[in-house]
Amino acid sequence: MEGGQLIKEGTAFFLKKGEEIIGEITYIPGPESDTWTLNHTYVNPEYRGGKIAQGLLDQVVQAARAENKKILPTCSYALAQFKRHSQYEDVWMRY
């Protein structure tokens, strides 16, 4: 992600430019032991329209794959991306 520093803190990824957070994505463990609920995505309005949210989503998906987790996307952005792109099929937990 150009011009920013990616930081993982707990169950969140942040993209910072200097001290400013320009994007974030969060998840929580559960509802099953092998799942994460992806519950929040935000990009500062000045930086919207690029690939920041997509890049943050891809970071969570890579982490889920590395830990053999499935993702339940409750965040509207993440759910829309899961529906649009088949590359998320392997980690998508559907109810």
For residue 75, the SS3 value is coil
* pTM confidence score: 0.94
Give pLDDT tens digits for 41-95. Answer: 999 999 998 899 999 999 999 999 999 999 999 999 999 999 999 999 999 999 7
Q: In the beta sheet, which residues pair with residue 70?
A: 35
Q: What confidence score (pLDDT) does residue 35 get? A: 98
Q: Domains of the chain (ranges plus CATH)?
A: 5-91 (3.40.630.30)
Q: In this structure, are residues 21 and 9 in contact, taking their beta carbons and an 8 Å threshold?
A: no
Write the DSSP string, 39-61.
EEEEE-GGGTTSSHHHHHHHHHH
Residue from 68, 70, 71 nearest 25 by CA: 71
The torsion region of residue 42 among left (phi > 0), alpha (psi -120 to 50) and beta comes to beta
pLDDT for residue 3 is more than 90: no
